Amino acid sequence: MALIQLNDVSKSYQVGQISQPALRNVSVDIETGGLVTFVGPSGSGKTTLLNLIGCMDRPSSGRITVDGKRVDNLGRKASAAFRGAHLGFIFQSFNLLPVLTVYENVEYPLLMIRRAPADQRQERVLRILEAVDMAGQKDKLPDQISGGQKQRVAVARALVTQPKVILADEPTANLDTETAKKIIALMREMRDAFGTTFVFSTHDPRIVEQADVVHTIVDGRLVSDSDFALHKSSGGADHA
Ligand code: ADP
Ligand code: MG
């Protein structure tokens, strides 16, 4: 079974008397260990789709399974618990807490959801900060580091609880192209190191190239799929 499955998922937003369709009959499987992107123009439904996978919202119809659990019908509390235990999030605007240091920002999710003993917590935070090459900046405040560095910290923060899936809605939109590519490369490294599946959206074709699997979404519909040499051990050499 795929790590994430969407079966015939539709979502409409009710705006006054009008029902505004945002996703139309989307079915897609996302396998473990991919770097998977949803690409499409503004307003095509990317955020809606990621919000549904991330249990931030519920579909109007259809079925969504994440890591073996039906999530399309979860209530508020259950979806919050599921998010905390299974998912990590990276945001376009980084969303670091400005009064906390780099170290404290990464520690924060562990304080919120896990009762790891202090020494284990410290070890885990430092290990993740080293993995994203930010250990040397651990005592700085977000204001004292660059945008690219902030997003590295945000990647670390998403990873620290060891979720199977990290969702990122346009994580590179506030970065220049070179920095953006480095963030995607970092996701790939972290995927290899921790087995995390990354699902992100973008509308930047230069970023799309960096993904393993690209799903194109236009006007709420999935229009085409193309597999870019999944790093998985299907045995075949990569000729492309
Ligand atoms: P994208 O992330 O690709 O830009 P969105 O998922 O944000 O697309 O939006 C898809 C469609 O749904 C758009 O037409 C948008 O205007 C509409 N939409 C998104 N969120 C809401 C909302 N909360 N209420 C009403 N309409 C919304
Ligand atoms: Mg969006």
- Among 95, 56, 91, smallest CA distance to 72 is for 56
The pLDDT of residue 61 is above 90:
yes
- Among 218, 190, 213, smallest CA distance to 200 is for 213
Which pLDDT belongs to residue 206?
Answer: 83
Which pLDDT belongs to residue 164?
Answer: 94
Query: Which residue's alpha carbon is at the smallest distance from atom 12 of ligand 1?
Result: 22
Query: Which residue's alpha carbon is at the smallest distance from atom 14 of ligand 1?
Result: 43
Architecture (CATH level 2) of domain 4-233: 3-Layer(aba) Sandwich (3.40)
Instruction: Enumerate the domain spans of the chain.
Output: 4-233
Q: 204-216 pLDDT, tens per residue? A: 888 898 899 999 9
Banded pLDDT at 115 (limits 50, 70, 90): low
In contact, 59 and 52? CB cutoff 8 Å: yes
Cα(173) to ligand 2 centroid in Å equals: 10
Cα(27) to ligand 1 centroid in Å equals: 19
Which pLDDT belongs to residue 112?
Answer: 83
Task: Enter the pTM of the model.
Answer: 0.90
Banded pLDDT at 119 (limits 50, 70, 90): confident
